[in-house]
């Protein structure tokens, strides 16, 4: 959730997306608006922003972009992963990243990014197939060290990269545990 009081600038970019700059320096970009909405939204937003400024609307915030509980809509402080109001638990970025480290795409399934997770899973299966071919080829050429080292290093790098990306995606918000 963003309060109007936390927004410094709101403008349309040359690509058609809408760009926000928050008081804490964070920048957000939103795309996918129709041409008409994209053209009128900055004006409407600036008018609303001016109205809130004139009225002195300055709610207490812990950060420019507040996290809301998806169950009761209560503000959850930064770094907290349990709602005090209703008891809803949320995944921490580290928990999700560890699962992606064990098995790529697991973290994305937990975050609810099913399409991305399926795409990742298909890519992972192709990678396993390619590594199996490399391993068989190395064994047939009589190079047992290459047959082990190349697949193991490839899998370590692949799993670590997926965990790293999943961690940074999970940090962007709260994701409920079911």
Q: CA 83 to CA 74: how far, in whole Å?
A: 8
Q: Is the pTM of this model over 0.75?
A: no
3-state secondary structure (DSSP) of residue 15:
coil
- Is 95 or 28 the better-scoring residue by pLDDT? 95
- What's the mean per-residue pLDDT of the chain? 88
What are the tens digits of pLDDT across the range 155-166?
A: 999 999 999 999
What are the tens digits of pLDDT across the range 7-63?
A: 888 888 888 788 888 888 888 888 887 888 877 888 888 888 888 888 887 777 777
Helix axis angle, 114-140 to 144-170, nearest 10°: 170
Residue 167, Cβ neighbours under 10 Å: how many?
A: 19
């Amino acid at each position: 959730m963003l309060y109007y009081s936390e927004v410094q600038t709101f403008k349309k970019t040359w690509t058609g997306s809408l760009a926000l700059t928050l008081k804490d320096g964070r920048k957000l970009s939103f795309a996918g608006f129709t041409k008409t909405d994209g053209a009128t939204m900055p004006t409407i937003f600036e008018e609303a922003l001016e109205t809130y400024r004139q009225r002195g609307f300055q709610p207490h915030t812990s950060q420019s972009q507040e996290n809301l509980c998806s169950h009761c809509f209560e503000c959850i402080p930064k770094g907290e992963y349990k709602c005090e109001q209703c008891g809803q638990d949320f995944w921490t970025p580290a928990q999700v990243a560890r699962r992606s480290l064990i098995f790529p795409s697991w973290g994305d399934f937990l975050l609810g990014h099913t399409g991305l997770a399926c795409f990742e899973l298909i890519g992972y299966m192709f990678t396993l197939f390619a590594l199996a071919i490399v391993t068989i080829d190395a064994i047939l050429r009589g190079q047992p060290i290459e047959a082990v080292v190349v697949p193991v290093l490839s899998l370590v790098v692949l799993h670590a990269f997926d965990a790293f990306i999943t961690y940074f995606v999970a940090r962007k918000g709260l994701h409920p545990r079911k």
